[in-house]
Chains A and B, each alone.
Chain A
């Protein structure tokens, strides 16, 4: 209970910040706009956050962070609605929700499916908030012991983790990471002041903005891919959604899966490189294994909604632990949120927690508030979301293009960025065609400069002796973890199993992005 007692004054500070009228309003705008965008198929959290970044420019850092994370949960929530009503995952973490959620909707149980998804998300999110409160500060203290070798090994571990856990070919994911690291190097070298890979363009001297890359790879390319499909099939179930509140039996059936899902989500959330998508997949697979009514899975089992939705949300929450405590983003989305902090003039890292406690704890408290708002807000608004689903894509995508263009341009007010985003859009379309997953790339773009810097520093301290990475225990631990991940992937038996799991839970069709 000691940990819990220590958490309370912090959480109290957090709630006093988050409950100000202003911050409540930004939290509300964030979850509302996030849900709207999440409901619209084709835009994931990453593109949504990048697109809406200009909305936060004029805010204080606390308010900006609160709003951005509100957008993040909102898109996740909206994604589940689309998954249940349309069998179209609004974002990749809700791919598995399609399986049983849509079946339930077909059986006329869309209400309980949506309701359970909201309840599971809220409970998992609340536990996640508590976990950050408890484990964030001690982890930040550990992070103060980190030197250059530890940081380098941690980042290597994150990147390899992202490659291993991504769907599709791991070789390609590794290639995408290397490409991302190379893109991260573009700009002025801090040590020598030399311009690298700028091809003479002065606009590239500060490097390529991650918003530009994210918008190209996740926004632009996605629209091109959507448009080439002759007609996006939308088997919208035009039914009146009733009985949102799940029955007592539904709750009894879902409670344990929900708890297991939360635990799985927390594990993958804290693990750098993993994140909500893999968490929801794993939770679903686990539930199928332990369930007594395994036959019901895929045929409208409410456990099949409760567990992955809980995992999804608890992972989204716990992702903030490594991001905020270590300053090392665990996923592409977190990289973007860190980037937003940098735009606000705050250097991310373990010192944020001690130097800006109101920022850190205000964010944590607002996460819980955001989850609560989603629960109360969305149950009554579900009719509105369902209506939103009927807006045809031909009207949506020009609007998305407008938001993307303004989003990219407004970061630096430089037209060059628009053309660069276009270039990445074309590249992103090629990636889609060649089945190269872009999420590891964008994580690598952010980690690239940090990795090079820490590699340099580590080798400078050790006088060029690479053994420094294995003789320091924390660094060695991360490297062993990295080696294990790679080894596990190379073993053919595991590889088959992984393909089977990813394939099975995806229903063999879902193209997961991010």
Chain B
């Protein structure tokens, strides 16, 4: 049989996967009874519902047509992920300014048409603006530089 709806097929598998994970993890928590529900009660049932919904979806993907998932923009995904990860890693170690610098540079690389002059301008404006607004204006307690 041929899968008619890629997106339903994979969405179904995703729900099954999350459901099984939930049941598997919740297995370590006491179930209790309906009257005195333990910490495992609610998540176990939710996991089971997720598996059932996922199974129906996957089953249906052989019958009902879909549009397909289309092209995946991995380049943008990777650079934007790097931007966030960089910000998270640098914010405490290297301070607000360098974390923002990494974030802005990695973000713009996610686009296809980065222009050096524009990027430089963007860096100056965004960092100055954020420092002014958040650190001086709203007095959020962030270290600006590694040496400050």
Contact = CB atoms under 8 A, between A and B. Distances in A.
Contact of B11 (A194, A227, A435): A435
Interface string A309-323: 000000000000000
Given A57-B138, A179-B18, A425 B57 contact: no
Given A397-B107, A464-B33, 7 more contacts: A171-B57, A223-B110, A227-B110, A405-B100, A418-B87, A435-B67, A464-B36
30 contacts: A57-B140, A171-B57, A175-B50, A178-B19, A178-B46, A178-B53, A196-B26, A196-B39, A223-B76, A223-B80, A224-B76, A224-B80, A227-B110, A227-B112, A394-B111, A394-B113, A394-B115, A401-B83, A402-B100, A402-B104, A402-B126, A402-B130, A406-B130, A418-B91, A419-B84, A419-B85, A425-B80, A434-B10, A435-B7, A455-B37
A220 interface: yes
A185 interface: yes
Interface stretch (A40-48, A132-140, A409-417): A409-417
A194 B126 contact: no
Contacts of A397: 107, 110-111
Interface in B11-31: 11, 14-15, 18-19, 22, 25-26, 29-30
Contacts of B18: 179, 182
B48 to A, nearest CB: 10
B56 interface: yes
A464 B38 CA distance: 13
Contacts of B11: 172, 175, 434-436
A395 interface: yes
A418 B93 CA distance: 14
Given A182-B47, A459-B34, A415 B73 contact: no
A185 B43 contact: yes
A415 B26 CA distance: 27
B35 A169 contact: no
Interface residues of B, number: 70
Interface string A399-442: 10110011001100101101101100110011001111000000
A220 B84 contact: yes
B14 to A, nearest CB: 7
Contacts of B66: 435
A398 interface: yes
A429 B112 CA distance: 19
Interface string A174-196: 11001101100100010110101
Contacts of B46: 178, 181-182, 185
A302 to B, nearest CB: 34
Nearest to B9: A434
Contacts of A406: 130, 134
Given A419-B88, A430-B14, A228 B71 contact: yes
Given A182-B22, A415-B91, A435-B11, A463 B104 contact: no
B116 interface: no
A112 B142 CA distance: 47
Nearest to B113: A394
Given A175-B11, A401-B107, A460 B36 contact: yes
B108 A398 contact: yes
Contacts of A58: 138-139
Interface of A: 54-55, 57-58, 169, 171-172, 174-175, 178-179, 181-182, 185, 189, 191-192, 194, 196-197, 220, 223-225, 227-228, 393-395, 397-399, 401-402, 405-406, 409-410, 413, 415-416, 418-419, 421-422, 425-426, 429-430, 433-436, 452, 455-456, 459-460, 463-464, 466
B72 interface: yes
A182 to B, nearest CB: 5
A175 B57 contact: yes
B140 A54 contact: yes
Contacts of B110: 223-224, 227, 397
Main secondary structure, interface of A, reads helix
Given A463-B35, A464-B34, A422 B88 contact: yes
A430 B74 CA distance: 11
A422 to B, nearest CB: 4
A174 B10 CA distance: 16
Nearest to B71: A228
B21 to A, nearest CB: 9
Nearest to A462: B35
Interface in B63-80: 66-67, 69-73, 76-77, 80
Contacts of B76: 223-224, 227-228
A399 B37 contact: no
B10 A182 contact: no
B31 to A, nearest CB: 12
Ranked 8 nearest A-B pairs via Cβ? A228-B73, A464-B35, A418-B88, A227-B76, A464-B34, A398-B107, A189-B39, A434-B11
Interface string B104-139: 100110111111001000100010001000100011
Nearest to A433: B69
Given A58-B139, A182-B50, A409-B91, A228 B80 contact: no
A203 to B, nearest CB: 12
A260 B107 CA distance: 45
A183 to B, nearest CB: 9
Given A169-B8, A398-B104, A220 B88 contact: no
A175 B15 contact: yes
B139 to A, nearest CB: 7
A255 B26 CA distance: 57
A405 B84 contact: yes
Nearest to B66: A435
B56 to A, nearest CB: 6
B39 A194 contact: yes
